[in-house]
Amino acid sequence: MADIHHTLANHVVITSTGCMEWTGWRTEDGYGRIGSGNKKKYMHRISYELTFGSIPDGLWVLHRCDNPPCLNPNHFFLGTLKDNFQDMYRKGRQRGPQGEKHNKCKLTAEQVLKIRDDERPLAAIEAEYGISNGTASKIRNRLIWKHLP
């Protein structure tokens, strides 16, 4: 336990917002990690456990501050994966490539705009474009491809 406290003391800076930012190795998304091989742990989870105890099964340690490298336990709350997604959408933090830039994209922006104006039954549109059931409806209702005008 003394080792982790020493590690924390040497790899954390406090910001003006009160975040305690991990300065050691971080994931692509900015979360601090420590360990090797299959024994890697997220630093915010370690910080939570040091302060509050074990994390119940099925719960995640979420950040109120929306700052992935933050280790300040006062900035954490527990929630499910669903809670995490709801928090992300409520705060407008969706990340990642949109539209044609997404690696699983099957449509072009031009096709999406045509689908929005297409008055045929959804099944016919989905068959023509080779998209799954419900996708054309989501496009028409602007639940996906929202970034297009």
Task: Compute the average pLDDT of residues 34-52.
Answer: 90
pLDDT in tens, 45-65: 999 999 999 999 999 999 999
Of the candidates 34, 19, 6, the one whose C-alpha atom is nearest the C-alpha of residue 68 is: 19
Alpha helices in 20-108 (DSSP H): 43-52, 81-90
**pLDDT above 70 coverage of the chain, percent:** 89
More confident residue, 10 or 137: 137
Pick the CATH number of 2-90 from 1.10.10, 3.30.300, 1.20.120, 3.90.75: 3.90.75
**Residues 69, 74, 78, 79, Cα dihedral to 10°:** -70
Q: How far is CA 37 from the centre of its chain?
A: 23
More confident residue, 101 or 54: 54
Which regions of the chain carry the CATH code 3.90.75? 2-90
